[in-house]
């Protein structure tokens, strides 16, 4: 028998450990890439995946996307399956009516086109528009104001918010999940030796969201894949405007080998300040005989008009320079995620381009200096919109885990 010394044995153990990790990571990517054409892997297929299989295709990612964060290499298919079940489960809300997927709809690129701002517990209008979750795994700062940096911890904010899923405490929800035998089994499989706790619940949801990848758009095939005919002439002119005269690329950045179309920084585009100037509809309410008062609808309606008190990143940093500033959103799949802006106050891409063409809301003295009139002609505006539509990636679809 061949003998190995201690140092050689340590090397062998390290290689064995690395190989076990690769066996988990490669099939995960293979499912993402080859089965869904760079969209979202159906959970039924994830269940059927052979965790011991290794595919050469697994080393690829959707064209136009950067490498995945290191933590994704430890994600297992059982964690993804569990995260999908949690994502679509209304039982995670206090009154069993809301799930994550009801604000982040698979058919709407994991955003919501149903209303300007999301609708939460008992029909309450939330403060902001639901952003897309496609490619959220690449974001280092989460929410419109960047209040969270961990995708696993992020889940607890909507789970506990009184207007969203309204759970009274972390312990309350964990106890409910522990009462479900199916979840007890799935957590034991996904997190051996750990089971159900606040971190594993968040990590499971993060695991599922890490599969929501979308790239390989016509723009990607033109820019990064060398397909000259992937874009029309109008779309190519739109790109030149995007990178040049319109200066969109100063915030919606494009790198040499990939593009997330966001610099992950925060800017005041005038939308937050503009909301302060818009008065919502009013009602005349009779309090008593001969006593009538005028009340704005936002104080009466469950689903109401503009929310005037959203101060953006300032609420997180208390830095006056961040007042009404919001994170630069991605533009991937942007034609599928209307309405736009952090509050959903602009309904179409044409209207967004027109807003920036006019220089934003000029009455806002703290408007970012990058926001200024562009002087685009109608043809140029049409070309720019055409380019934005070319950023739609391969169709992404979610599968409810029943």
Residue 261 falls inside a structural domain: yes
Instruction: Write the CATH number for 235.
Output: 1.10.760.10
Q: What is the mean pLDDT of residues 198-223?
A: 98
**Token output for 371:** 């926001």
Residue 347 falls inside a structural domain: yes
Q: Is the pLDDT of residue 248 over 60?
A: yes
Residue 342's pLDDT is 94
pTM of structure: 0.79
In the chain, what percentage of residues exceed pLDDT 90?
68
Residue 267 falls inside a structural domain: yes
Q: What is the mean pLDDT of residues 311-339?
A: 96
Residue 78 falls inside a structural domain: no
Q: What is the mean pLDDT of residues 318-346?
A: 96
Q: Is the pLDDT of residue 219 over 50?
A: yes
pLDDT in tens, 366-393: 899 999 999 999 999 999 999 999 999 9
| Domain span holding position 361 | 218-272+308-389
Residue 301's pLDDT is 56
In the chain, what percentage of residues exceed pLDDT 70?
78
Q: What is the mean pLDDT of residues 352-375?
A: 93
Our count of domains for the chain comes to 1
Residue 65 falls inside a structural domain: no
Model confidence at 96, pLDDT cuts 50, 70, 90, reads: very high
In terms of Cβ atoms closer than 10 Å to its own Cβ (0-12, 13-18, 19+), residue 165 is buried
Residue 3 falls inside a structural domain: no
Model confidence at 286, pLDDT cuts 50, 70, 90, reads: low
Model confidence at 115, pLDDT cuts 50, 70, 90, reads: confident
Q: Is the pLDDT of residue 244 over 50?
A: yes
Residue 205 falls inside a structural domain: no
Q: Is the pLDDT of residue 33 over 60?
A: no
Q: Is the pLDDT of residue 5 over 80?
A: no
pLDDT in tens, 57-74: 234 799 999 999 999 999
Residue 55 falls inside a structural domain: no
Model confidence at 278, pLDDT cuts 50, 70, 90, reads: low
């Amino acid at each position: 028998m061949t003998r190995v010394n201690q140092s050689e044995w340590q090397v062998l153990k390290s290689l064995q450990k690395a190989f076990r990790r690769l066996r988990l990571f490669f099939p995960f990517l293979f499912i993402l890439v080859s089965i869904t054409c760079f969209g979202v892997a159906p959970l039924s297929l994830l269940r059927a995946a052979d965790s011991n299989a290794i595919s050469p295709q697994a080393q690829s990612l959707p064209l136009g996307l950067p490498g995945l964060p290191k933590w994704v290499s430890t994600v297992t298919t059982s964690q993804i399956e569990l995260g999908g079940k949690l994502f679509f489960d209304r039982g995670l809300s206090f009154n069993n009516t809301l799930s994550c997927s009801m604000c982040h709809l698979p058919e709407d690129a994991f955003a919501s086109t149903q209303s300007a701002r999301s609708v939460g517990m008992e029909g309450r209008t939330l403060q902001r528009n639901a952003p897309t979750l496609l490619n959220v795994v690449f974001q280092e700062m989460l929410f419109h104001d960047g209040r969270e940096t961990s995708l696993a911890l992020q889940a607890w904010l909507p789970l506990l918010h009184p207007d969203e899923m309204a759970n009274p405490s972390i312990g309350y929800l964990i106890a409910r999940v522990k009462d479900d035998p199916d979840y007890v089994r799935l957590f034991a499989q996904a997190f051996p030796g750990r089971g159900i706790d606040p971190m594993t619940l968040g990590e499971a949801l993060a695991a599922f969201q890490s599969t929501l990848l979308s790239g390989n758009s016509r723009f990607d095939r033109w820019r990064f894949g060398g397909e000259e005919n992937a874009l029309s002439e109008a779309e190519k002119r739109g790109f030149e405007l995007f990178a040049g005269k319109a200066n969109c690329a100063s915030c919606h950045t494009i790198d040499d080998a990939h593009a997330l179309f966001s610099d992950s920084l925060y800017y005041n585009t005038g939308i937050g300040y503009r909301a302060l100037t818009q008065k919502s509809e009013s009602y005349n309410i009779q309090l008593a005989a001969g006593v009538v008062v005028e009340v704005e609808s936002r104080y009466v309606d469950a689903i109401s008009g503009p929310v005037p008190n959203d101060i953006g990143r300032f609420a997180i940093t208390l830095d006056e320079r961040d007042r009404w500033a919001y994170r630069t959103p991605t533009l991937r799949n942007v034609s599928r995620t209307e309405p736009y802006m952090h509050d959903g106050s602009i309904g179409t891409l044409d209207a967004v381009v027109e807003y920036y063409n006019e220089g934003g809301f000029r009455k806002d003295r703290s408007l970012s200096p990058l926001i200024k009139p562009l002087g685009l002609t109608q043809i140029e505006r049409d070309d720019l919109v055409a380019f934005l539509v070319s950023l739609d990636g391969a169709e992404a679809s979610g599968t409810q885990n029943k």
